[in-house]
Amino acid sequence: MVGMEQEQGRVIDLAAGAARVARLPAPGTENAEPRLLRQIYGEILRDERRDQDRSLGDVARTVGMSKQYLSEVERGRKEASSEILRSVCDALELPMEQLLARGIRRMTAHRTLRTTSHAGVELCAA
């Protein structure tokens, strides 16, 4: 995968500035229901906020929303509108395009294709 390294069931996103770890499903759970987009975006926003050593309250005040609502968005429990996502991205100085790109990488990181001709070889889709 370009810009990604797989390490013990985790994918490290090297293209995101600082190395970020995308959570992969546990082995044997590939057929589990995929995570929702709101969960992935929330995880990315939380990781970015923590990387900047900013509190929920600080970012929520900058955006003009409650700390509780931002927490729900970060945990993937609330479906944030595109306007809210843009506002949080602006507060974090994270281009919206990066949020979308990181989301795509995390959504596709778990897809593994197994080859039949070479035992032990796995190709990961990016």
Other CB atoms closer than 10 Å to residue 40's CB: what's the count?
21
The reported pLDDT for the residue numbered 35 is 83
Q: What is the CATH number of the domain that holds 77?
A: 1.10.260.40
The reported pLDDT for the residue numbered 99 is 96
Residue 31 gets which letter from DSSP? T
User: Block means of pLDDT (10 residues each) for the chain, length 126 residues?
Assistant: 48 54 52 81 97 96 96 95 96 96 87 54 54
β partners of residue 22: 11
pTM, two decimal places = 0.66
First to last CA, the chain: 6
The reported pLDDT for the residue numbered 125 is 54
Q: Which domain holds residue 50?
A: 4-124
Number of domains in the chain: 1
Interhelix angle 37-51/82-91, rounded to 10 degrees, is: 10
Residue 117 contacts by C-beta under 8 Å, 6 or more apart in sequence? none
**What span, in angstroms and rounded, lies between the C-alpha atoms of 11 and 22?**
5
